[in-house]
Amino acid sequence: MRARQILIYPFILASASFAGVLHPMVADDYTAEMGRATAHFDVPRGWRALPIARRTPHHATLVYVNPRNKHLKVAVSLDFYHIHSFETDKTQQGCADDYLDGVQRHADPDVEMDIVSTFQSGRNGAVNIYRCHSEYWREGWTVFIVKGDYEVQIEVYAHDFAGTAQFAGYLRAVADGVSIDGV
């Protein structure tokens, strides 16, 4: 899992991606499809979409360049998942618990997770921002948007806590543009 922590100072890598069919991208939105469900994502103002690679059509990436500091770039990838039928807690907290369990079992048994903030999203109601942190894992902030058996996961990484000052704003801007339909 160390590869998920790619960080080139002063760049911050934020990660999440769609796993499914990604329809051709328009400059300001993505739509991913999995079974009868679709996840739609509006690109926030000030962000730009990178071209989608043909070999990974399920992966979408956005980049935000801070207008006051052109060297500070945030890359966001979006993951659209089907939550397994054996999962019983298909909520934000249930997805967060499963995520933490996976990180602790496969990458870092010392990682801890806390809710650092909650915001109200017009499309998704109350959304929690989770912070995963440890000496090895460093700083990873994650949002889980859940509807029925589907989830969109958005993650932001930094080398240390000092690099997370803007994370809540970045996650809110991205999460406000996400909707899951057809479930």
CATH number at residue 149: 3.40.1000
For residue 10, whether the previous peptide bond is cis, meaning omega lies within 30 degrees of 0, is yes
> Is residue 106 in a domain?
yes
Least confident of 50-64, 97-111, 120-134, 147-161: 50-64
> Is residue 4 in a domain?
no
Q: What is the DSSP letter of 99?
A: H
**Per-residue confidence band for 125, with pLDDT thresholds at 50, 70 and 90:** very high
Residue 100 has pLDDT above 90, yes or no: yes
Share of the chain above pLDDT 90, in %: 39
> Is residue 3 in a domain?
no
User: Could you tell me if 10 and 158 are in contact, meaning their C-beta atoms sit under 8 angstroms apart?
Assistant: no
The C-alpha atoms of residue 181 and residue 119 are separated, in whole angstroms, by 21
* Mean of the per-residue pLDDT values of the chain: 80
> Is residue 1 in a domain?
no
pLDDT tens for 46-84 read 888 777 666 655 667 778 877 888 777 777 778 888 888
Least confident of 114-118, 125-129, 160-164: 160-164
User: Could you tell me if 60 and 26 are in contact, meaning their C-beta atoms sit under 8 angstroms apart?
Assistant: no
Number of domains observed in the structure of the chain: 1
Domain that holds residue 85: 12-181
Exposure of 103 by Cβ count < 10 A (0-12 exposed, 13-18 middle, 19+ buried)? buried
Q: 């997370």: which residue's tokens?
A: 164
More confident residue, 170 or 32: 170
Predicted pLDDT at 11 = 32
Least confident of 33-47, 53-67, 117-131, 161-175: 53-67
Transcribe 116-169 into DSSP letters. Answer: EEEEEETTTEEEEEEEEEETTTEEEEEEEEEETTEEEEEEEEESSGGGGTTHHH
Predicted pLDDT at 55 = 62
Residue 2 has pLDDT above 90, yes or no: no
More confident residue, 107 or 47: 107
Q: What is the DSSP letter of 21?
A: E
Residue 173 has pLDDT above 50, yes or no: yes
The C-alpha atoms of residue 160 and residue 168 are separated, in whole angstroms, by 15
**Per-residue confidence band for 13, with pLDDT thresholds at 50, 70 and 90:** very low
Predicted pLDDT at 77 = 74
